Every structure is written in C-alpha cells, then in structure tokens.
Amino acid sequence: MGSPVMKLQADQLRVLRSGKEVLSGISFAVAGGEVYGLLGGNGAGKSTTLATFLGFLQPASGRVLVQGRDVGADLAAARSAIAYLPEAASLYEHLDARENLHYFLQLAGVASGAASIEAALDRVSLHADARGRRLRDYSKGMRQKVAIALAILRDTGILLLDEPTSGLDPTAIDEFHDLVRGLADAGKAILMVTHDVYGACQVADRIGLLRGGQLVDQFAAPAGGRIDTESVHRAFSARQAA
Ligand SMILES: Nc1ncnc2c1ncn2[C@@H]1O[C@H](COP(=O)(O)OP(=O)(O)O)[C@@H](O)[C@H]1O
Ligand SMILES: [Mg+2]
C-alpha cells in the first residue's frame, strides 16, 4: 500500500497579490482525521492560502492539490470537496436558522430534509428555541453554529475555517473546538487559520507558523497529547519581534 492521498496539499506555493509576493513557497499537507492549524499574525497570508485552495487565486508557481488533484486542473471537483467558513459567515439576517440551512443547501445542490437539518443543529448544540428566530437576533457564536451546521450538512471531506473563533466568548470557543475536534475524529481534514495560539494548540494535531508568507516553524502534537502552548507562543512572539 502506498501512502494515503492527502486531502489538502500545498507544494512550494507562491502567490502574488497586486504584483506583491504574499506567499513565498509554502509546503504543507493535511490528511483526513487531522486538524492543521495555520497560525500567523495579520497579513501573514492565511486567508490567501485558503483562497488559493478554493481556486479564487492562482499560484504564480508551485501547486495546490485537493484530494491529490491540482485545483487549477479541476476547479469544480476541488470546490465540491470543500466546505469553507469565511471570516464573516454570509448568512441571511432576515431568515431563521432552518431557513438559512434549507436555502444554502438548495443552492449547493444538496438534498436534505427537515430531519437532517434538525440533527445538524443538534450536533452544533444550537438551542431549540433559537432555531425559529431570525439571525439578526443571534450572537456571533450562534451564527458560527449555523455556519458549521451548513458545513456538516454539505458533508464534504474537507473543511477550511478562516479565524472561526474570533469574536466568540471563551465558552463558545471551547464548544467550537470540541465540535471541530469531533469532525476531524470522524475523518474530515480540517485546515483552520487563526492568530490565536491557545486555540490552535487546543485543537490542532499540527501547527504551521506563517509569517510574511513563509512557513517559519512547524509543531506536532505528541501521541495522545496536545501541542505545547508555551513553545508555540514563544516561537510566535519571537518571530513577530524579529
Ligand atoms: N485583495 C487583495 N489585494 C491585494 N493584496 C491583498 C489582498 N488581500 C490581501 N492582500 C495582501 O496579502 C497579504 C496577505 O493577506 P492575507 O492572506 O489576508 O493575510 P491574513 O489572512 O494572514 O491576515 C497582505 O500583505 C495583504 O495586504
Ligand atoms: Mg485573514
């Protein structure tokens, strides 16, 4: 048996934006069952990396592969394999949670009945009383739950999360991380970009530290354990100061 096909792979990826190099040859891969935390400060290139996996940006050189296939060669296949949580989830404020899910699933061409929608909302622990209320009355944490329920219902093997916990309170962050961990344990490949050292260490199997478009450090969790927050924090601050 050969090694399993990685769900996501960046291979010497270089990306230019407005003529400026914002990713300078980064390489990493994410397998099913794994949470990879791409950690970096503002402007490090985190969102750019996600945009490239989604085919919104093209590599100047190098490649991005989704399930072993070049994104540029088969854009539709890549996008249908991925659920993406953008920084600000774009859901409809005047619709309730169920209506949002129904609408966006239909848009994605995913058949899904009322029962599976309730099951997904159970899974993300969105309070039953809230499900019929319009999103304009929701907290950020509640909106994130709806967005992740949508990702669950699309049932893709790959999740891209862009700063998913920014603006959440500590309880909501813990809940969100538990959910992400559970999805990975069920076999999904998860690429989470964040500037939160503690959160990345709480949930990631591996962390890549991105600075100025370069992967400057990588960390892996020991078997059965978590990545040590202190050492990542030290590397993050040292690199920031450098
Ligand atoms: N639409 C854009 N056009 C040109 N440059 C951009 C655009 N978006 C981001 N950039 C630049 O690309 C670099 C990386 O940005 P980004 O990937 O958004 O970083 P991060 O998500 O880590 O904060 C930054 O220097 C940023 O200014
Ligand atoms: Mg960003």
Name the residue among 89, 88, 86 with its Cα closest to residue 193.
Answer: 86
Atom of ligand 1 nearest to the CA of 45: 17
pLDDT in tens, 119-137: 999 988 899 999 999 999 9
Neighbours of 60 (CB within 10 A): 15
Q: What is the pLDDT of residue 163?
A: 93
**Which of 13, 14, 22, 193, when mutated, tests ligand 1's pocket best, judged by the most ligand atoms within 8 Å of its CB?**
22
Contact between residue 87 and residue 165 where contact means Cβ atoms under 8 Å apart? no
Contact between residue 229 and residue 198 where contact means Cβ atoms under 8 Å apart? yes
Taking the centre of ligand 2 as the mean of its atom positions, its distance from the CA of residue 142, in whole angstroms, is 21
Q: What is the pLDDT of residue 239?
A: 54
Q: Please report the DSSP string for 80-91 in residue order.
A: HHEEEE-SS---
Q: Is 202 helix (H, G, I), strand (E, B) or coil?
A: helix
> pLDDT under 70 in the chain at which residues?
1-4, 239-242
Q: What is the pLDDT of residue 24?
A: 98
Phi, psi values for residue 221, rounded to 5°? -70, 140
Q: Which domains does the chain have, with CATH numbers?
A: 8-92+157-241 (3.40.50.300)
pLDDT in tens, 53-87: 999 999 999 999 999 999 999 999 999 999 999 88
Distance CA 64, CA 149 (A): 27
pTM: 0.93
Q: What is the pLDDT of residue 88?
A: 78
Q: What is the pLDDT of residue 155?
A: 86
**Pocket lining: 32 vs ligand 1, CB cutoff 6 Å:** no
Atom of ligand 1 nearest to the CA of 49: 17
